């Protein structure tokens, strides 16, 4: 069973974390804020955000190409079976 080692590890982690207490948490949080607020880290985060945005746009464009309608009913509306694709009145 793989669950027992996991539960034991989680329990040990909880106990050790609780013993470290609020003081250690505050120390870690201060160190994180110092790193996160550093100008070079901010610049790298901006570059990463821009690249992620470009990747999303590329993915959206590729998805649109794959699902774009092709053939005689490209007018945006699929034609119903047994009807002409562009009959004008719809009657």
For residues 42 and 13, which has the higher predicted lDDT (pLDDT)? 42
Model confidence at 49, pLDDT cuts 50, 70, 90, reads: very high
Q: Is the pLDDT of residue 15 over 90?
A: no
For residue 26, what pLDDT is reported?
83
pLDDT in tens, 50-61: 999 999 999 999
Instruction: Please give the span between the terminal C-alpha atoms of the chain, in angstroms, as a whole number.
Output: 68
| Length, in residues, of the chain | 91
Query: How many Å apart are CA 91 and CA 37, to the nearest integer?
Result: 66
DSSP annotation of 53 reads H
CA-based R_g, the chain, Å: 29
H/E segment holding residue 15:
helix 3-36
Q: Residue 39, Cα to own-chain centre: how many angstroms?
A: 25
Q: Is the pLDDT of residue 31 over 60?
A: yes
The answer to pTM > 0.75 is no
For residues 2 and 41, which has the higher predicted lDDT (pLDDT)? 41
């Amino acid at each position: 069973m793989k669950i027992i080692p996991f539960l034991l590890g989680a329990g040990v982690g909880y106990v050790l974390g609780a013993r470290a207490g609020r003081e250690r948490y505050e120390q870690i949080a201060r160190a994180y804020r110092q790193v996160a607020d550093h100008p070079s880290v901010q610049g790298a985060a901006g570059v990463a955000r821009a690249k992620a945005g470009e990747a999303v746009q590329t993915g959206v464009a590729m998805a649109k190409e794959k699902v774009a309608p092709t053939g005689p009913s490209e007018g945006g509306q699929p034609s119903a079976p047994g009807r002409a694709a562009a009959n004008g009145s719809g009657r």
